Amino acid sequence: MRHPVFPPKNSQALRDMSIRTLLLILLLAAGLTMLFWAPLWQGGGLIGGDLYPYFFPQKTVYADQLAEGRLPLWNRSVGFGYPLLAESQTGVLYPPNPLLYRLLSVNAAYNVSQIVHYVLAFLFTWLFMRRLDLSAAAATLAAVVFVYGWFPTRICLEWAIIGGVYLPLSLWCVESFLQTGRRGWLIGLAAALGVHLLAGHFNLAFITQLTVVSYTILRVVLSRETLASSLQNGQAFRGILVPVTLAVACGFALSAVQLGPTWELKQRSQREQVGAHHDPGYGHIPPWYLSQIVAPWMWYTADSDPDQALNAIKVLSIGSATNKVEAHLYFGMAPWSLILCWLLVALLGGKPADRRHLIWLLLGLAAMAYTTGWLLPVTRHLPGFSFFMGPGRYGIVTTLAAGLLAGAGLDWVLAGTGLNRRLKGRRPVIRGLLVTTVLALTLADLFWVSRHVTYAVMVADPPISHREQSEVRRLLKDYENAGPQLRPVRLWAPGANVASLTGFPATPVYLGLGPAAYFDPEFVMPEPADDASPEQHRETRARQRNWLQTAAVTHILRMERLDRSEWPHTKLVWQGFDRLLNPAWGRFQQPLYLYEMTEPGPFTRLQGTQTREEATVRAIDDSSVEIQTSVGDGVAEAASATTLTVAQLDYPGWHVTIDGEEQGTATGELFLNAELSSGEHVVAWRYSPASVRWGAAISAIAWGGLIVAVGAGLRRRRKGE
C-alpha cells in the first residue's frame, strides 16, 4: 500500500506536533503523576489490594534471581514452587523489568515502572487523539479522561497501567498507517503488541487486539472514501485488513518466548476449565451500577460501601462476584457534559459528525455492554474469552471512547460560531480560561474519586523496604544454616504468599494462573468448617498436622497463639513486631507468633526396603536442587527399587541427573521423584523447560525479521522511494 486510503483531514495538526510540543506534553504528563502519586516520587510506596499478597512476592524473587545472575524461570518461595515465567504477570522478559529490578530496590523499581507507564499512556493517548484531528487542548482532555479516569482506582493492580499503555499506542500506529500508507507503522504495531504480551497480563492484550481489529474493520466498512473507491476493487482488504492482521499475528510470534510457557501452564492450571476456581464472570459491572457514570455521588461518598451494594443487589446482575475496583467506570462530570454536547451536535447538527467519532461511540457502547457480563453465555465458548475473568475490564475501551468524545465536544464548544462572535479579540484568552477550567474541574473530580474508590493507599515508609530488617527472615535463615547440613525451610502462615517475602517458601498460595494441584482438594490444606462440631474440629486438626508433615513444613507463623493441646509438636521461638510482615498485614499493635515444628516432615524421602538409607540436601535454589543419597548397604543390590522424593512441585521442565547421567523423570502425583539403585548417589534436578527454548527460537526469528524489515525501510527512505 503506497498511498493512504484515508488521507488526514487536518494535515496542519500533524505539522504542529513538533519536538517542543511533545516535550511540553511529556512535562505535563510527568507533572500529573506528581499530583496523583507524589509519595511515590518521594520514596514512599503502596500497600493494599494485591500488592503484598501477589505482586511483591513475585518481584522479590525476580529481583533476587537477577542479582544472582540467573534467568528467573521458577519460583520456589510460593507453596511447593511454580513456573515463574509461565505465570507471566511477573513480566520476566518485559524489556524495562530486568534493568529496573537489577539496578533498583524492589520498591523503587515498582514506583518507577508505575510512573513511567502513566507518562507513556498519557503521551500515546494524546498522539492518538491528534491523529483523530482533535485540537491540542481537546487531545489533552482526552488523555486526562483516559489515563486518570480508568487507572488510578486500579493502582493496586500492576497490570492495569502497564497494559493500558499499549491500547492507545497500538491504535495510534493503526490510524497513522491508514492516514500515511507507510508500512513502518505496521512494524510499530507488531512491536507494540509483542512487547505488550511480554508484559504478561494477557487480558488487556486480548482487549487491545480485539479493539485494533474491530476499529480497522469499522474504518474500512464505514468510510465514505473506502466505499467510493478502494472497496470496489478490493484495495481496502488487500492493503489494510490483511497487513493489520499480519501485524497482529507478528506480535504473537515476537512474544512466543512468553506465550509458549504460559500456554503449557494453562493446560495444567485451574483455568483449564470453568469452575469454582475460574469464573469468567468475576469482576463484571452490574447494569444498575453503571449509574456511577452520571451519578457518582450515589456510590462514592464516605458513608457508602460499593462492595456491600455490589454483593447485595442482584437485580439484572449475573451470578458472579465482583468488587468496586473491577466494576469502576467513571469519566468525570465535565467530560460527561461535553459528551452530551457532542451527542446533540451529532444527532441534531446540520454538519455530519466525523465517522471516526461514530466508530468510537459504537466501540464504547459495545464495550460497556460487555462489562455487564450478559454476553458471557455466548462468548465463553469463543477462543480466548473463556480464559479471562473480569468483563468490567472492557471498560478501558469505553473510557478511551469517552475521552475522545469529550475532546470532540470541547472542540465544538471552542469552535462554536456564537462564541466566536462574542469573543472577538479576546478569543485566545477566553479559550484558554475555558480549557483551563475544564481540565481543572476534571482533574479535581478524578483525583477525589481515585482516593475513594481503591484498595491501595500510599505510605511514606513501605513495608517492602524493611525486608532485610525482618526478624522472621533472620530466624528462618539461622534455622536453615544452624546444623552441619542445609535444612530447607517451609512456612505455614496466614495470608497467602505474603510470608514468602521473607525469601523462604510459604503456604498457602495465591496465583492468578497456577498449577491445578494447588486447587485440588486432595492436595490442599484442610480447613475446619464454620459449623464443625468439636469432634469434626479435632479430626480436621489431625488432618492438618498430617498435611504439614507431608508438605515438609518446618515453621508456623500465626497472628494468634496456638493451642498446644491441638499442636503438641510445636515450640514458640519468637513473638513480637516484624518490620516487614506486621505492616504488610496492617497489624501495628498486635504481635506475630513464630513456632518451630519439633518433628517436621522431611524435605527428602527415601522409600524402599534397604538396610540403610540417607538423603541430605547439598544445594538448593529457585531452579535447581541437589541431593546426596546413600541407599542400601553399599554392597548388596537393593531388594526392590528405591524412590527418592523431594517436596517440590513436579512440573514439566524439571530434568534429573543421577551421578551426572541424564535420567527420565518419574512423574509423581505432586512432588519430584527419582528411582535409585543401591549405593551412593548424587541426584540433581534442573528446571529447563523446552517450551522456553522453542518460544525463544520463534521470538528470535521474529525479532530478527522485524529488524531486517526496519533496515530495509530505512534504506528505501534514503534512496527516496
Question: Residue ranges of the domains in the chain?
Answer: 11-458, 470-597, 604-688
- The pLDDT of residue 310 is 85
- The pLDDT of residue 4 is 52
Are the beta carbons of 493 and 557 closer than 8 angstroms? yes
Residue 57 backbone class (left: φ over 0; alpha: ψ -120 to 50; beta: rest): alpha
Q: What are phi and psi of 520, to 5 degrees?
A: -85, 120
DSSP H or E segment with residue 539: helix 534-550
- The pLDDT of residue 564 is 85
Question: b or e along 667-680 (b: 16 or more beta carbons within 10 Å of the residue's beta carbon)?
Answer: eeebbbbbebebbe
DSSP 643: E
Distance CA 98, CA 693 (A): 19
- The pLDDT of residue 132 is 94
Are the beta carbons of 167 and 152 closer than 8 angstroms? no
SS3 of 83, please?
Answer: strand
C-alpha cell at 313: 443487589
Are the beta carbons of 370 and 398 closer than 8 angstroms? no
Distance CA 643, CA 631 (A): 10
Q: Which of 205, 127, 123 is nearest to 162 (CA)?
A: 205
Sequence-ordered strand ranges (E) for 579-652:
592-597, 604-607, 613-621, 624-631, 642-649
Distance CA 223, CA 237 (A): 13
- The pLDDT of residue 222 is 80
- The pLDDT of residue 348 is 75
Are the beta carbons of 50 and 157 closer than 8 angstroms? yes
In this prediction, the residues of the chain whose per-residue pLDDT falls under 50 are: 1-3, 226-228, 232, 417-418, 634-638
- The pLDDT of residue 668 is 57
Cβ atoms < 10 Å from Cβ of 1: 19
- The pLDDT of residue 1 is 44
- The pLDDT of residue 131 is 94
* Sheet of 624-631, strand order: 613-621, 624-631, 679-687, 654-658, 661-663
Residue that the C-alpha cell 510527568 belongs to: 30
Alpha-carbon Rg for the chain in angstroms: 29
User: What DSSP letter does each residue of 136-178 carry, written as one string?
Assistant: HHHHHHHHHHHHHHHSGGGTT-HHHHHHHTHHHHHHHHHHHHH
Are the beta carbons of 106 and 114 closer than 8 angstroms? no
DSSP H or E segment with residue 193: helix 184-199
- The pLDDT of residue 291 is 92
DSSP H or E segment with residue 449: helix 427-452
Cα angle: 637, vertex 640, 644; to 5 degrees: 95
Q: What are phi and psi of 615, to 5 degrees?
A: -150, 125
